[in-house]
Amino acid sequence: MSFLHKEEHVDDNMVILQANLDDMNPEWTSYIMDKLFAQGANDVFWIPIIMKRGRPGVMLNVLVDASLAASMEEVMFAETTTLGIRSIRASCHRLAREIETVETVWGPIEVKVGYHRGNLVQYAPEFKECEEAAKRSGVPLKTVYDEVRRVFMERKADCAAD
């Protein structure tokens, strides 16, 4: 049903790599992000910070398995302007995840579902598929999200009622 890690687990072998950037062209951020995700980063995000002399810099954060840290640093040194990278050890507690598909008037749309100790705690319509449906149909994106969530909730209620 999915390429995702299906079992809930704790991964103790993660690192957060950080680089504070106060002299980089912000135009490069989407490219850098794409490249880090492509090479196996679990997450990439930016934090607006205030640096030396009050410079409005950004901190690049890369969450990744420790075994991939070296290749992430390779990208970070090549593509950003940093002279150093910090590394912090982290554990990640990840929910069991499944992809379910719901039927809508705009066709099938996937929902990412998260289970904690066997209980459904999260369900999130897939952005790309909802966006696609909104573009095709001309309906507002929020309407697509609402409908996907409604159909998903109803199905769960039906299952529970059986």
Segment 117-136, which members bind its own copies (CB under 8 A)? 121-122, 124, 127, 131, 134
Of the candidates 2, 36, 1, 3, the one whose C-alpha atom is nearest the C-alpha of residue 18 is: 36
Number of residues counted as binding its own copies (CB under 8 A) = 76
CA distance 147 to 107: 12
Assess contact for 9 and 95: CB atoms under 8 A.
no
Residue 57 as a binder of its own copies (CB under 8 A): the answer is yes
Rg (CA), the chain: 20
Please state the closest distance from residue 38 (CB atom) to its own copies, in A.
Answer: 10
> Residue 26 Cβ, how far from its own copies at the closest point, in Å?
5
Per CB under 8 A, 81 contacts its own copies: yes
Q: Under rule CB under 8 A, which residues in 87-106 are in contact with its own copies?
A: 87-95, 97
User: CB atoms < 10 A from the CB of 96, how many?
Assistant: 19
